[in-house]
Structure 1
Amino acid sequence: MSAFVSRGLRRFAAVASLGASLGLTLGASLGVAVPAQASPIMSATFAPLGQPTSVPFGWADFCRRYAGECDGGPLPSLDINLTTKSIKEIERINKWVNEHIQPVSDMEHWGVVDQWDYPTDGKGDCEDFALLKRKLLIDEGFPRQALLMTIVKDGHAEGHAILTVKTNAGEFVLDNLRAEIRPWDRTGYRFVKRQSQNEQNVWLQIGDPTPAPDYVSR
């Protein structure tokens, strides 16, 4: 991660008392092993993935500015072990980000149509919420390859960004527009594309190919 991002996130965390507010205690071992006796407390299906597709401009620009966040070669497939403890931590981070980040459009925030960034000033739109949730979950020991930036179309056919959490019990969505965590196929969204689990800079179609939105908002 670049020094700029690290400083920005430290400032944000310090001002918001991030660690204390979240009460984070998760260890690095969570999400790695899947014990035979584990009984998932939630269940979902897995999204049907297609061929590699175009990388969102916002992600490419984010990686250009924060190269350290996008470095790294291929990764092994690794799902989160969904237990009472892990889902509690995921819900806690999802809730905290949704409640503490002020939703503003990129045009209001940056004067541009679409810009992906960390909401270090406490403001952001959908992809910024998702990026921060991803960052915090990775910092708490959840595997990067199970936390996938995802592009969907909402009920108005507008582009929207969410975070897909891939677990041994299926795939769930963290969404700035909803407080609860939902299975991916119970959101009402039309799923377009998401990061590959094995290579974060490769994006894959989801289901039947559909035209990608020009940008994401809300």
Structure 2
Amino acid sequence: MLFRGQGKGLAVVAILMGVSASMSVPAKAADALYASLGETTRSPIGWVEFCAENPGECRGGASQPRDIVMSQTAWRDLVRVNKWANETIKPITDMDHWGVIEKWSLPTDGYGDCEDYVLLKRKMLMDAGWPREALLITVVRDKKGEGHAVLTVKTDKGEFVLDNQNENVVAWTETGYRFVKRQSQSDPNVWVSLGDNRPALATASSRDR
């Protein structure tokens, strides 16, 4: 399904924010994000509480999976959003920020950890008209084996990752991460296992500056 024109609003927003990018549309990434999606699993710690406080961000219910058509405009928008959020939000752990081990929140005060970056990028794209079904919050283990959260974007050219530890938008295969779980395309409040069954708090990977 095509989503033509949805990138235009975001492109204007990005220009007004004073950020720019000149990148070509990437070649198709791996045909499938994972060999197969596992069974449903429990949501990450903090997600249910976030939804209770921000019901509008978690509104969903069953829907049809949809992928983005990766145009030049769409690619530039992904790069701009990733870069702007990474440069604008200052990293801080939830313990230092809120006094708790794990709390999901939109970084409205300019501070957050990895999942807060993801929530902001997801909201920016959805507010610009991108389909929620193509923007999936994903829990991974980073190169140090620590829990981390990224935003997976499903496109007709493969799966790409927006990450507060990387100003570049890259194919999932280029992250070096081990994927643990992510939102279902069919329902944002359903989470599916991706192979690494060890618990993974997505709290300690705010990008160093």
TM range (shorter): 0.7 to 0.9
Aligned length: 187
Q: 1:197 aligns with which of 185, 200, 205?
A: 185
Report the TM-score, using the length of structure 2 for normalisation: 0.84
- Between 1:61-70 and 1:188-197, the stretch displaced more is 61-70
Matched residue of 2:168: which SS? Answer: coil
Deviation of 1:41 after TM superposition, in Å, equals 3.5
Alignment of 1:68-217 (within 5 A): 68-206=56-194, 208-217=195-204
Report the CA distance between 1:107 and its aligned residue: 0.8
Structure 2 CA distance, aligned partners of 1:175 and 1:215?
12
The farther-off stretch of 187-196 and 149-158 is: 149-158
Counterpart-to-counterpart distance in 2, 1:68 and 1:19: 27
After TM superposition, give the deviation of residue 215 of structure 1 in Å: 4.3
- TM-score after normalising by structure 1: 0.80
The structure-2 alpha-carbon separation of the partners of 1:91 and 1:214, relative to structure 1 and needing over 3 Å to count, comes to closer
Decide whether aligned partners of structure 1 residues 22 and 79 sit closer, same or farther in structure 2, where only a CA change above 3 A counts: farther
Among all aligned residue pairs of Structure 1 and Structure 2, give the percentage whose two residues are the same amino acid.
Answer: 47
- Is the CA contact (8 Å cut-off) linking 2:14 and 2:80 kept in structure 1? no
- Structure 1: which 5+ residue stretches go unaligned? 1-16, 25-38
Alignment deviations for residues 106-149 of structure 1 (CA, whole Å, 9 cap, x no partner): 11111111111000011101000000000000011111010000
Q: 1:19 to 1:128 in 2, by over 3 A?
A: farther
Classify the secondary structure of the residue corresponding to 1:180.
Answer: strand
> In the alignment, residue 193 of structure 1 is paired with which amino acid?
K
Q: Supply the RMSD in Å over aligned alpha carbons.
A: 2.0
The whole-number CA distance in structure 1 between the counterparts of 2:109 and 2:89 is 9
Q: Describe the SS at the equivalent of 1:181.
A: strand
Aligned partner (choices 30, 33, 36) of residue 47 of structure 1:
33
**Could you say which residue in structure 2 is the equivalent of 1:6?**
none
Q: Secondary structure at the match of 1:82?
A: coil
Q: In structure 2, what residue type is equivalent to 1:212?
A: P
Runs of 5+ consecutive residues of structure 2 not aligned to the other structure? 1-12
Partner of residue 8, structure 1:
none
SS in 1 for 2:204: coil
Question: Is the 8 Å Cα contact of residues 19 and 84 (structure 2) preserved in structure 1?
Answer: no
Shift of 1:42: 3.0
